[in-house]
Amino acid sequence: MSDAQDLLIEIGTEELPPKALKRLSAAFTQSILQGLDQAGLNYNGHQAYATPRRLAILVNQLDTRQPDKSIDKRGPAVTAAFDDEGCPTPAAQGFARSCGIDVNELDTMETDKGSWLVYRSTETGQDTTTLIAAILQQATDALPIPKRMRWSDLSDTFVRPVHWLLILFGDQVIPATLLSQTSARVTRGHRFHHPDTLYLAEPAAYAPLLESEGQVMADYEARREAIRAQVIETAHAHGGTAVIDEDLLDEVTALVEWPTAILGQFDHDFLRVPPEALISAMKDHQKYFHLVDQHNKLMPCFIAVSNIQSSNPDVVREGNERVITPRLTDADFFWSQDCKQALIEYSERLGSVVFQKKLGTLQDKTLRVESLSASIAAELGIDQGDAKRAALLCKCDLMTDMVGEFPDLQGIMGRYYAASSGEKAAVAQAIEDHYRPRFAGDELPETAIGQTVAIADKLDTMVGIFGIGQAPTGDKDPFALRRAALGIVRILIEQDLGLDLKKAIQSAIDSYQRVELDQHTADQVYNFILARTRVYYSGHGYAADEIDAVLSLEPAVFNDMNHRLRALSVFRSLPEADSLAAANKRISNLLNKANAADIPTSVAQGMLKEPAEKSLAIALSQLQTQVEQLLAKGDFTEAMKHLASLREPVDGFFDDVMVMVDDMALRHNRLALLSSLRKLFLTIADLSRLQTG
C-alpha cells in the first residue's frame, strides 16, 4: 500500500428532506474532515456529494497511517530527584516506576526554571483503516437532525432509513458497521433508471460511474447548475424568461438525481388572478419555475424538473399540467370570492384572532397601529388620513381565503384587494409595504405611507412584547423583534426620515390604554433598537469606537447618524484628531470628578487670567456660531473640520493652565470653560470614546 490513498464514504438512504439536504451535506463533510484533522491525518483536497438518496465524501490522497508522535513526560526537578550523595530520591524512583523503566534510563530537560527529569517515548501512529469507523460514527452523531427516526425493529436512529454503507480506502473496503449497515464497495444508481447495485473498484470512479451507468448526478453543485441551464434553455426555446428563485433551485436540486426540465402550460384565463398567487401555487405546491415575457408579464406556462428521463415526455408534461390545474383553480376561486366584499369589511373578523393573549386581538393591534401611524405621519409631514386608512386596512387580508391558503401572500394580496375596493393607490401600496423589510437585505417600503405604517406596526409589537416582559433571550425571538428593530433602523437611516424615535416609542406606549406595561418599557425598547443600530453600522464598515462615539449620545433622531459618522471618519484622518480626542478624554475625566452643581452654566470672562485660557475662550466663542450654523444645515463634516482648528488653543490651555487650583471660584470657572468646549464637540460626537495612538 502506498503512503496515501483516496477515501470514499457514502451513506445510502431513503429520500432525504429536500430543504435540509444542503445543510446536512455541509455538516457531514465538515465533521469528517474535522475528525481526520484531529487524528493528524493529512489529505490533498476533498469533494462532497449529496443527492436525495445519499450523503458522500471523497477525500483525496489521505495518509494511510498517523505519523509517530514523540511524547515527553516530565517528572520531578533534578534538585528533588537526587540527594546530596547523588542517589535517587523516592520521588525519582516513583516517577521511573510509573514509566516502567529504571531511573538511569530517564533523560533530563533544561528549562528557564531549571532542570527536570523527563521520560521520552514514541507513540506509534495507528493505521487509517482503524480510525475511520469512529470518525464516521462521530460525524453521523453530530449531524443537525432536529428529529431522528427509527425504522423496522432497529434501535438505530437517523434522519431517514439507511439502506447501504460504502467505505472504500484505495481498493480496499474498510470494515465497519454503522446504522445497522455493514460497509461494502457497492453503491446504487437511480431508483428507477438503475435500481441495481454498482460495484466500485476505487474511490475516484464514484461520480463517473454513477453518472454513466447509474444515471445519478452525485455532485450537488454540478446538478444545481445543470438544472439552471436546462430551465433557462427550455424557457428561451418557448419565447420566455425563466424566473429562478435560488431557494427553489436548491430545493429542486435536492429532489432529483437525474434532472430533466419539461415545459407545461395552463389555461390563459387563469391570468386574471394576481400573478403572485399563481406563482405561489406553482412554486410552493409543485416546485415549478414560472416564465415571464419580454414585458415581465407572467406567461401561462411553467417549467417542471422531473427526476426521470421519460421515453414519452408528453405523458410527464400532461401529468404536471393535470396536477397544477386544481391548484390554480383554487387560487382563481379564492380571488373571486374574496373580491365579493370590500377589504375594509374583513376588519371585523380581526377581532376573532388573538395577536398575543396579554396584548389582545389583531383588531386591537390594528387600532393601536392606526393611532401610532397618525402620530408618526404628523411628525413627518405625511397625510394623516391616508396613514390611518392604510393602518386600518393593513391586516385585513389575513382574513381572506387567499392568504389563508397562501400565507406568504400577506400584504401582497392586501394591495390587490385594496385596489379592487377602490382605495387610493398609495394606501394600497402601503399595505404591502408595511411588512418590509421582511428579511435581511429585503427591499424597504416604497412609499412614505408605507414607511410610516411599517414603523408603527413594528414599534407596536416591540413595545407590547417588551412591556409584558417577554424580551428576546439568547436565540429565542418568537416575535422576530431583532428583525423588527433592524427594519426600523434601516427605514429611518436609509430613507432619511427625521423621526424622533423616543417620542414615537412613547406614543406607542400611550396607545396601550388597556394593557399595563412595564415602567421601563421605553428605555428597554430604545436600547434594544440602539443595539441593532450598532450591528447595522458594524456591517457597513464603521469602526466600533466611531459608532460608540455617536451612539453614546443616544440620539433620538436617527437619520443624521450617517452624517455624524461620515464626519467622524473624515475628522480621524486629520492631524489634529488624536490630540483633540485625548483632550476630550481629559476634559471628561475632570468634569466627572467635579460636582456638576458647582460648575457655572457660563464662563465669567473677567475671571480668565492666563493668556492660554483667554485664547481658548476667544476661539470657542468665534466657532460657536459657525458650528451651530453648519449643524443647522446638516453639514457635520464641515463642522468637524472647524472644530479641528481648536487643537492649538486646547493644547496651549493644558500646557499652561492649572485647572484644579485651590481657588474654588477660579477652578469652577475653568471647568465651565472646558464644559462649554465639551458641549460643542458633543453636538456631533463624544470624542472621548475614540481610541488614540
Give whole-number Cα distances, 340 to 316, 328, 346, 622, in Å. Answer: 37, 19, 11, 70
Cell 462521530 sits at which residue?
138
> Peptide bond before 195: cis, by omega within 30 degrees of 0?
no
Q: Where are the domains of the chain?
A: 4-66+128-212, 69-123, 220-338, 343-541, 572-689
> pLDDT tens digits for 63-94?
999 988 888 888 898 888 888 888 899 998 89
Residue 335 has pLDDT above 50, yes or no: yes
> pLDDT tens digits for 647-685?
999 999 999 999 998 899 999 999 999 999 999 999 899
Spatial separation of the C-alpha atoms in residues 127 and 468, rounded to whole Å: 60
> pLDDT tens digits for 10-27?
999 999 999 999 999 999
Q: In 39-61, where does DSSP find H-type helix? A: none
- Helix (H, G, I), strand (E, B), or coil: what is residue 200? coil
Region 454-459: mean pLDDT is 98
More confident residue, 486 or 624: 486
From 399, 363, 689, 659, select the one nearest 545 (Cα to Cα).
689
- What mean pLDDT value characterizes the chain? 93
| Nearest-10 crossing angle of helices 448-467, 362-380 | 130
What DSSP designation does 284 have? I
pLDDT for residue 693: 65
Question: Does the predicted model carry a pTM greater than 0.85?
Answer: no
Record the cell numbers describing residue 36, joined without a space: 481526520
| Nearest-10 crossing angle of helices 220-237, 21-38 | 150
pLDDT for residue 1: 39
Strand pairing category for 69-77 and 114-123? antiparallel
- Helix (H, G, I), strand (E, B), or coil: what is residue 65? strand
Q: What CATH topology corresponds to 4-66+128-212? A: Alpha-Beta Plaits (3.30.70)
Residue 289 has pLDDT above 50, yes or no: yes
pLDDT for residue 2: 47
Q: What CATH topology corresponds to 572-689? A: Isoleucyl-tRNA Synthetase; Domain 1 (1.10.730)
Which DSSP string corresponds to 511-578? T-SSS---TTHHHHHHHHHHHHHHHHHHHTT--HHHHHHHHTT--SBGGGHHHHHHHHHHHHTSTTHH
Burial class (CB in 10 A: 0-12, 13-18, 19+), 602: exposed
Maximum alpha-carbon separation in the chain: 109
Region 156-172: mean pLDDT is 96
Q: What percent of the chain has pLDDT over 70?
A: 100
Amino acid at 307: N
Determine the CATH number of domain 343-541. 1.10.3210
More confident residue, 563 or 428: 428
Give whole-number Cα distances, 692 to 577, 584, 675, in Å. Answer: 8, 11, 21
> pLDDT tens digits for 357-404?
999 999 999 999 999 999 999 999 999 999 999 999 999 999 999 999
